[in-house]
Amino acid sequence: MLSLRNKNVLVTGGAGFIGSHLCDQLIEQSVAKLVAVDNLFLGKKSNLQAISRTRKNFLFAEIDVTNPAAIKKIIDRHRIEVIFHLAVVPLEVSLLKPDWCFTQNVKMTQNICEIIRQAARPITLVAYSSSEVYGSARYTPMDENHPLLCHTPYAASKLSSDVLVYSYYRTFGIDMALVRPFNNYGPRQNEGSYAGVIPITITRIMRGEKPIIYGDGKQTRDFIFVGDTVAGTIKIYQNKKSRGEVFNLASGQQISIAKLIKTICREMNYRGEIEHRSERPGDVRKHQGDASKAEKLLGFTPMVRFEEGIKKTVDWYRRREI
**Residue numbers annotated as active site:** 154
User: In the chain, count of helices (H) and strands (E)?
Assistant: 11, 13
- Residue 85 three-state SS: strand
Question: In this structure, are strands 220-221 and 255-256 parallel, antiparallel, or unpaired?
Answer: antiparallel
Cα–Cα distance measured from residue 224 to residue 182, given in angstroms and rounded to the nearest whole number: 7
Rg (CA), the chain: 19
Closest CA to 226 of 182, 289, 290, 288: 182
- Residue 58 three-state SS: strand
- Residue 9 three-state SS: strand
Phi, psi angles (nearest 5°) of residue 145: -95, 5
